[in-house]
Structure 1
Amino acid sequence: MSRFAPQIRWTGNRGEGTARYHGYDRSWEVATPGKPVIACSNDPMLGGDPGLHNPEDMLLAALSACHMLWYLHLAAEAGVVVLRYEDAPEAEFESDASGAGRFTAVTLRPRIGVAPGSDLALADTLHARIGAVCFIARSVAFPVHHAARYVVVDG
């Protein structure tokens, strides 16, 4: 069993803490021992810095990365040679009258470059297997869909 232990540190104290709602920044850091620090903020609609990652960005990135890593693993086992992989995931979001929100679905949109001669039908079937093994996708309370596109590339 692996243990994950990132540290979250609020960095937005302007000197008076949370004495006033608009008197502090929504900035924070992810500091995992032995790894580079990631500067983050809240979503800009909630007073955050638009130039920094927010929790929603990071959740989508985690889902996408987990899917990608499992896809690469399954592709290697199946003999599908992947040469490039990029994704632009999109989330559906809703909020209730109180302002509390939640993701209702995520669609991963990988664009996958495969070697000439690759079986594109086989390449596409691999995505359906990932939901059973990607621990991040298995941990969220909303569906994770995929809409992959393929391009044949040379090296």
Structure 2
Amino acid sequence: MTTNHQYTSKIVWTGNLGDGTKTYRGYERTWEIRTPGKSVVQCSNDPLLGGNPALHNPEDLLLSALSSCHMLWYLHLASTAGIAVSAYEDFPLGLGETEKNGAGRFLQVILKPNIVVPAGTNLTKADAIHHEIHNYCYIARSVAFPVTFEATYREL
């Protein structure tokens, strides 16, 4: 049986400098993500397109969502498999392209988690979990580009 879910968010453009979009350079590409009961996230366009490099952009958010979803499913499946993960960090890399007309897209994402497990852990079994995640991760199942992983493990 399938269960349907709804997710909501409020996006508020904050870049009106007084004349709206009257001129191309007369407004900022900034906005806020306002989700009830949660901290406001200030965002900007990609710095390659004139955005503020100190703020999150849509590409950062997609990459982070994908990595986070993978991590959460990895932790769940590791626990189920009897693998005790004590630390997990990921350094995902998104590879994209921009066409001459400005249209862009992700071509691939490579997840690069560093995972700490107890000494003696079956690392082949721990690594195999990554191959199962694409069956579950909401974000990974929704994107139109390949997601691969290059995990490293440290035993304590």
TM over 0.5: yes
Once the two structures are superposed, the pairs formed by residues 6-155 of structure 1 within 5 Å of their partners are 6-153=9-156
Amino acid at match of 2:104: G
Amino acid at match of 2:22: A
Amino acid at match of 1:28: W
Structure 2 CA distance for aligned equivalents of residues 32 and 2 of structure 1: 16
Structure 2 CA distance for aligned equivalents of residues 2 and 83 of structure 1: 31
Amino acid at match of 1:83: S
Moved more, 59-68 or 8-17: 8-17
Moved more, 96-105 or 40-49: 96-105
Deviation at 1:117, TM superposition (A): 2.4
Structure 2 CA distance for aligned equivalents of residues 13 and 135 of structure 1: 34
Structure 1 CA distance for aligned equivalents of residues 70 and 83 of structure 2: 16
- Equivalent residue pairs, number: 153
Amino acid at match of 2:43: C
Structure 1 CA distance for aligned equivalents of residues 6 and 67 of structure 2: 21
Amino acid at match of 2:124: A
Which structure 2 residue ranges, 5 or more long, are not aligned? none
Deviation at 1:95, TM superposition (A): 2.0
Deviation at 1:7, TM superposition (A): 0.6
TM-score (norm 2): 0.95
